[in-house]
Amino acid sequence: MNQWSREIWVASVLAALLALLAVFAPAFYAPMPLLSRCSEQAPALIMTVGMALLIIARQIDVSVGSQFAVCAVIAGTLTAAKAPLVIAVATAIAAGGAMGALNGLLVAGLGLPSIVVTLATMATWEQALRLFQQGRFVALPEGTQWWGLGQTMGQWTLIAAACLITAAFAVAMKHTSGGRRVYAVGSDAESALLAGIDPRKTVFRLFILMGLLAGLAAALNIVRSPQVDPKAGLGLELKVIAAVVVGGVAVSGGRGSVWGASVGLLLLATINPALTYLHVDAYWEKATQGVVILAALIADSLKRRTHAGR
């Protein structure tokens, strides 16, 4: 069996959907909305990469949406206080790293299940943010939007940054010892330990990396509009996890790729506008997302079963 079969399968579903749109809703390809839709997905793509790594290592982080929101408000507040953009971005990334480190400490250090730990930190950060921000938007100073590059240029920069990061991690997962360590820990932590890899250290670092990427995504995201919405991260964790699962990363760990996860995100991101263009009510968005996750899971399980039967 070709090791890329799952990725190819998801990519062909995406291709079929795009072809369908080309025939029935050519308006989907008008350059302006298409470009802004792509740049809208760029921050999610960066977080999908981190989530793919975590799930390959057999962990999960549902607090990334809250981390994203907290980091966005931090970066926005600093920018609004006339801090240089570099410092705002660096602080947001550092804050993300710190929140990731807390998750990592509890999961790797105390051996607690990542789902419960990150559910708890998700609620804690979300409520803390609500407490301090009370739902207020942060208005950004003039010239912050698109880093003052103008919309089209800014959008391309954002997309390019996300793609570069994705490509770098995709290559690193395949061709560096660090990447192989993630797979080793995810497929069998005991064997990894016997092979001289410390699974706890790897998991701890992955949670920090996830936080750093969430911070980076948030810092890049704020340039998209003239103000920061403190609720922007709501439900983002679900979208990112869905993308990773749909993209063929096994939740049992050790299998999958960054490429697959990013194609999964593209597929999910295409389904929603596709529904609108094909005249399906937008209210079905969340339900569709749930169905896609479950369908991907069922497909994987059936495939596993036929292989085991042989």
User: Which residues are at the interface with other proteins (CB under 8 A)?
Assistant: 60, 106, 110-113, 115-117, 119-124, 126-128, 130-131, 238, 241-242, 245, 251-252, 281, 283-291, 293-294, 297-298, 301-302
Shortest spacing between CB 121 and other proteins, in angstroms: 7
Q: Which is nearer to other proteins, 60 or 158 (CB)?
A: 60
20: CB partners within 8 A, 6+ apart: 274, 278
Cα dist from 205 to 58, 64, 120, 179, 242, whole Å: 14, 15, 20, 12, 23
Please list the residues that pair with 227 across neighbouring strands.
139
Residue 152 CB, shortest distance to other proteins, in Å, is: 32
Residues in the chain, total: 310
CB of 151 to other proteins, least distance (A): 29
DSSP 108: I
Nearer to other proteins, 82 or 310 (CB): 310
Closer residue to other proteins (CB): 127 or 176: 127
In the complex with other proteins, the residue whose CB is nearer, 130 or 136, is 130
Q: Cβ-count burial of 6 within 10 angstroms (0-12 exposed, 13-18 middle, 19+ buried)?
A: buried
From the CB of 109, what's the least distance to other proteins, in Å? 9
Q: Provide, rounded to whole angstroms, the least separation between the CB of residue 70 and other proteins.
A: 12
121 or 145: whose CB is closer to other proteins? 121
Distance CA 88, CA 75 (A): 5
**176 contacts 258 by C-beta, under 8 angstroms:** no
Residue 39 Cβ vs other proteins, minimum distance, rounded to whole Å: 25
41 vs 59 by CB, closer to other proteins: 59
- State whether residue 134 is helix, strand or coil: coil
Distance of CA 26 to the CA centre of its chain: 28
- How far apart are the C-alpha atoms of 63 and 211, rounded to whole Å? 9
DSSP conformation class of 253: S
